[in-house]
Amino acid sequence: MISISHENDYIQIMVFGAFTLQDYREFEQAVLYQSEFYGPVALLFDLHEMLSYTLDMAWEEIKFIREHGQKFQRVAVVSSDQWVTWSAWMSRLFTDAEIGLFTESDDARTWLMEESDPNGVTNA
């Protein structure tokens, strides 16, 4: 299950349980809408409560990022799972967005509100 909220300066995505293709398509629509009207998207992806993801969702993620990677400004990923962290690092191959990896949501929010880091990657 996915929860999407539009905050002042970013989109917050929270995943609970299994992350499915249908969930990912909801995420895609939110990003495409936001980028169409407001430019590159800042995103907080909170995956602390994610238990699993489906293979078709993972494939869709690769396709979406390859096609729309320029629509992201900053992406904060909150998770302590090493596979999620690895996936976030791999996503850097398809986007120029800064990607920050965090274990706490508050740290991710703070980072999203800061000025861009010229190195493009943050670990916290």
pTM of the model: 0.83
Q: Delimit the domains of the chain by residue range.
A: 2-123
Could you give the CA distance from residue 72 to residue 55 in angstroms, rounded to a whole number?
Answer: 23
Q: Residue 86: its pLDDT value, please?
A: 66
Question: pLDDT of 47-103, one tens digit each?
Answer: 989 988 888 988 898 899 889 989 999 999 999 887 777 677 667 667 888 989 999
Could you give the CA distance from residue 92 to residue 65 in angstroms, rounded to a whole number?
Answer: 9
Q: Residue 4: its pLDDT value, please?
A: 96
Between these two residues, 112 and 83, which has the higher pLDDT value?
112
CATH superfamily, domain 2-123, is SpoIIaa-like domains (3.40.50.10600)
Backbone φ and ψ for 120, nearest 5 degrees, come out as: 85, -10
